[in-house]
Amino acid sequence: MRGLLKAATILLGLGGAALTVPLVLGFLGRLHPLFDSLSHFRLHLAVAIAAAGLLLLAAPGWRRNGAAMVALALAAALVTLWPALRNPGTAELPKPTYRLMQMNLRFDNPSPELVLDLIAREKPDIVTLEEVSEAWIAQLPATEAAYPHRVVCPPQSYIGGVAILSRLPFAGPSPRCTRGGSLAVATVDFDGRPAEVAAMHLVWPWPFGQDRQVARLAPLLAELGPRAVLAGDFNATPWSGTVRTLAAAGGLRLAPWVGPSYLDRRLPDWLRPLVGLPIDHVLAKGDIVAGRTVRLDASGSDHLPVLFEFAIAEPPPAVRTAAVGSRQ
């Protein structure tokens, strides 16, 4: 029995030490997209390393190793989560406020009625959608009365394109689709204050071509106007090099994120929320004031919808005119 315990301790120590390699490499995502792919699982690795370290604290001769593993895991988790912890969003937003719902529909969603019911129940002002397949294009007319202003990018594959649905009218240049339907941009009139709204869908990380797609999309994000909101399925975590690169290219700020939005359907229901990935994001620039961000109920997709509340710091023209008049 003692021999088995010793062997198990050695395996645990070696396994925990081995996991520190991808954890550390994940912080070097700017050097190679492989390392950025590893970064997406940083919190998963940190939890596994911390668990191994805690067990090693009870093993004579391994306590220093265990303590080092726990310290490394905690440091990695804190560095990763700190931006979200220090930026919970503005509690009190200036009026009027707006709501944007971001959702990857899942191209073969078996329950489209759940999505349509959710949109009708939540009544967001803007809806950004990904994986708008041919099947989904046939479903979207059901939302046309509530969302008459829209741009739906033609799908270039069975996965589908992206779309923007809006209660508010479009203004300025005509809406546009770019890069094979992976990016849609429309200028929306927010009570006399135009702002660009963009929906984006990235492919999977390296080795599946995300780094090349980011290089193509970054110049397009740099063309966004001074007031803009970008939402989409980035297939990348908020701490990844992918998100940082795109945010820097567009001069965008990442809105508060609230935990995993991608939940692998192959896993048991109890495990999915624990090991999911936060890959659906909203970013903003200019005088867009970020409020709370919440996850909504599952609607047949392997992504949870994300609801983003925001306001514009500049008051509407009518309010500014009234304020000027009151001072005269």
- Contact between 206 and 172 (Cβ < 8 Å): no
The residue count of the chain comes to 328
Q: Is the domain of 174 the same as that of 246? A: yes
Q: Which of 53, 86, 119 corresponds to the end of one domain?
A: 86
Q: Is residue 152 part of a domain?
A: yes
- Name the pairing type of β-strands 193-201 and 228-233: parallel
Q: Is the domain of 126 the same as that of 66? A: no
Q: Is residue 327 part of a domain?
A: no
Q: Which of 86, 116, 149 corresponds to the end of one domain?
A: 86
**What count of other Cβ atoms lies within 10 Å of the Cβ of residue 145?**
7
Q: Is residue 328 part of a domain?
A: no
DSSP letters for 122-187: H--SEEEEEEE-HHHHHHGGGGTTT--EEEEPPPSSTT-EEEEEESSPB-SSPPEEETTTTEEEEE
Question: How many helices (DSSP H) and strands (DSSP E) are in the chain?
Answer: 10, 12
Output the pLDDT for position 156. Answer: 81
Closest CA to 240 of 278, 284, 290: 278
Q: Is the domain of 187 the same as that of 104? A: yes
Q: Is the domain of 135 the same as that of 22? A: no
Q: Is the domain of 225 the same as that of 118? A: yes
Q: Is the domain of 38 the same as that of 111? A: no
DSSP 26: G
pTM of the model: 0.90
Output the pLDDT for position 325. Answer: 52
- Contact between 164 and 151 (Cβ < 8 Å): yes
3-state secondary structure 229-278: EEEEECCCCCCCHHHHHHHHHHCCEECCCCCCCECCCCCCCCCHHHHCEC
127-149: pLDDT as tens digits: 999 999 999 999 999 999 999 99
pLDDT in tens, the chain (328 residues): 677 878 888 898 899 999 999 999 999 998 999 999 999 999 999 999 999 999 999 888 889 999 999 999 999 999 998 887 776 666 689 899 999 999 999 999 999 999 999 999 999 999 999 999 999 999 999 999 999 999 999 888 899 999 999 999 999 888 999 878 899 999 999 999 999 999 999 999 999 999 999 999 999 999 999 999 999 999 999 999 999 999 999 999 999 888 899 987 777 767 777 778 999 999 999 999 999 999 998 899 999 999 999 999 988 886 655 554 555 5
305-320: pLDDT as tens digits: 999 999 999 888 866 5
- Contact between 102 and 201 (Cβ < 8 Å): no
Q: Which domain holds residue 51?
A: 2-86
- Contact between 212 and 265 (Cβ < 8 Å): no
- Contact between 181 and 162 (Cβ < 8 Å): yes
Q: Is residue 292 part of a domain?
A: yes
